[in-house]
Structure 1
Amino acid sequence: MKTINAQPDGRFPGRDPEPVEATLGELRSLVRAADADLGVAHDGDADRAMFVDETGSHIEGAAAFAALAAAELGPGETCVSAVNVSQRLVDVVAEADAEMALTPIGSTHIITVIRELLADGETVPVAGESNGGIFFPGYRLARDGAYTAARFLELVANQPASAVIAPYNDYHNVRENLHHRNDREREVMLEAAAQAARESDATVDTTDGYRLDYGDSWVLARPSGTEPIVRVYAEARDPDRAADLAEWMVQHVTDARADARR
């Protein structure tokens, strides 16, 4: 095992503590140079884990989560995730004949729903978000980056990491941030998203904003909890489909914003 930035320092001099592709260049280079089987990156408090495959390529958090969930879920069991859950995980849950429970974005919401489901006698073997924060409630009801890394290492014991996540690579995401000036604009924009949902033939979830599921794709409009922004997300296997869904929702929301500014 080789480590980078393993000396505790709350100033994080080695890299930004957020383990995203843009901050993991040194890890990716080391994986290639060392001919390693896997690279693991943690955030500042190490409750999340992100991965680099044996070629030095970044593994998307949604793909890693899907691979872990596929290894855990069985018929009738439940996976808990946030409302911006990837289509990858939706497909894994369907293939396992399991159930999906959606929550508002944030780990505390996920913990609350896990507790409720367990109290009702449901089985929740895995839960989490695509940012590397995964729960294995049978182990402990908290995110644990080291344990997540250990579980992912089990998956790569008999095949390369690139092969483990290969079934979950062919998905395309679009994300747009739409700014608003005040609460009135925000409400008008969200009402436009609600109207789009009412006019659609999708399955609509209003857990946190408006998520429209079409079976093979989805689009979500939700307000940021920290910035004056309405976020629009879309995902599909077909990149054109993802782009079209995002554009359709963005058009509804920005048209309403423009009307509010007149």
Structure 2
Amino acid sequence: VVVDAVNSSGGLAVPQLLAALGVETVEKLHCEPTGDFAHNPEPLPENLRDIAKVLEKGGFDLGIVVDPDVDRLALVSENGEMFGEEYTLVAVADYVLKENGGGNTVSNLSSTRALRDVTEKHGGTYTAAAVGEVNVVTKMKETGAIIGGEGNGGIILPELHYGRDALVGIALFLTHLAKSGLKMSRLRNSYPSYFISKNKIELTPDIDTDQVLVQMHKRYAKQPVNTIDGVKIEFGKEWVHLRKSNTEPIIRIYAESDSNATADHLAQKIIADIKEIINQ
């Protein structure tokens, strides 16, 4: 296993956990807990080139990346390809649901539909919460969810505690991977494949953002719409989530589909709708 702890507290905790779990070889990258981040600590593909290069050379089963406070977990496959932050929760939930013979799950409205697919495969019920860890936890308690979290790599296992915890995620994922007998890339390919396009549209301060969202709801009233946090519109297995910023005059637009191209296309269609409403 290769570990990138971005010179945070994870540099101490993750290698100790791996040793306790019986991992034979641990290659440490940026594991000195100096607080002097070796790269942008956001665990996104563009910031994880160092660990990807090590894995591309071969000889390791997977890469583990945590953020500075070790509550988000990103994984890298044995070939250097990103497992996908969204799929950390999907894979861990798959394992927990399988071990428990089913159960309910929760993630936020902006997280991948793949968690819903996996939950329903195991006979459970998926529920979406408003964005934010506290909202996910509240909904988990309401629905009795046995696993939940957010699409940014945050895993919440109520059996231990109601908080995002990358160490819990690592232990569950490694157990899942070992029991499956699959290579990391094969395990990733076993899940429904979705892609999220993240966009935003800037508005002038005089535009009523709330009214724009109301008009978007009306425009797509025939589709399934969720308004607990902005406006989320479903189109079969595709969806778009519109959220206003509380700090600047913008609307964030997240769109998911079965390819990057179709997700981008869906997002651009919604952006065009918003511009049309603004110019009316």
**TM-score bracket for this pair, using the shorter chain length:** 0.7 to 0.9
State the Cα distance separating 1:164 from its structure 2 match: 1.1
Alignment match of 1:57 (pick from 81, 90, 98): 81
Structure-2 residue corresponding to 1:23: 47
For residues 99-130 of structure 1, the C-alpha deviation after alignment (integer angstroms, 9 at most, x for no partner) is 1221111112112222333xxxx3x2210111
SS in 1 for 2:279: helix
Structure-2 residue corresponding to 1:189: 212
Counterparts of 1:212-223 in structure 2, within 5 Å, are 212-223=233-244
Structure-2 residue corresponding to 1:10: 35
Letter in structure 1 aligned against 2:32: Q
Q: CA RMSD in A?
A: 2.1
Output the CA distance in 1 between the equivalents of 2:146 and 2:247.
31
Structure-2 residue corresponding to 1:179: 202
Letter in structure 2 aligned against 1:27: I
SS in 2 for 1:80: strand
SS in 2 for 1:69: helix
For residues 198-253 of structure 1, the C-alpha deviation after alignment (integer angstroms, 9 at most, x for no partner) is 1x3x2111111111223321122121244421112221225564344323322221
Contact 1:222–1:231 (Cα < 8 Å) also in 2: yes
TM-score normalised by structure 2 residue count: 0.82
The answer to whether residue 112 in structure 2 is matched with residue 86 in structure 1 is: yes
State the Cα distance separating 1:76 from its structure 2 match: 6.4
Structure-1 residue corresponding to 2:19: none
Output the CA distance in 1 between the equivalents of 2:202 and 2:76.
33
Output the CA distance in 2 between the equivalents of 1:75 and 1:241.
35
For residues 63-86 of structure 1, the C-alpha deviation after alignment (integer angstroms, 9 at most, x for no partner) is 222222222226762111101121
Structure-1 residue corresponding to 2:229: 208
State the Cα distance separating 1:132 from its structure 2 match: 0.6
Contact 1:134–1:148 (Cα < 8 Å) also in 2: yes
Output the CA distance in 2 between the equivalents of 1:142 and 1:153.
20
Counterparts of 1:1-262 in structure 2, within 5 Å, are 1-12=26-37, 14-33=38-57, 35-73=59-97, 77-117=103-143, 122=144, 124-157=145-178, 158-168=181-191, 170-182=193-205, 184-198=207-221, 200=222, 202-237=223-258, 241-259=262-280
SS in 2 for 1:59: coil
SS in 2 for 1:156: helix
Output the CA distance in 2 between the equivalents of 1:215 and 1:96.
20
State the Cα distance separating 1:166 from its structure 2 match: 0.6
Output the CA distance in 2 between the equivalents of 1:131 and 1:115.
20
For residues 124-149 of structure 1, the C-alpha deviation after alignment (integer angstroms, 9 at most, x for no partner) is 22101111111111122111112211
For residues 15-57 of structure 1, the C-alpha deviation after alignment (integer angstroms, 9 at most, x for no partner) is 1111111111111112233611010001110111100000011
Output the CA distance in 2 between the equivalents of 1:27 and 1:141.
30
| Higher RCO, Cα 8 Å, sep 6+ | 1
Letter in structure 2 aligned against 1:181: T
Identity %: 27
Output the CA distance in 1 between the equivalents of 2:264 and 2:219.
16
Give 5+ residue unaligned stretches, structure 2: 1-25
Output the CA distance in 2 between the equivalents of 1:149 and 1:76.
21
Letter in structure 2 aligned against 1:116: E
Output the CA distance in 1 between the equivalents of 2:193 and 2:137.
30
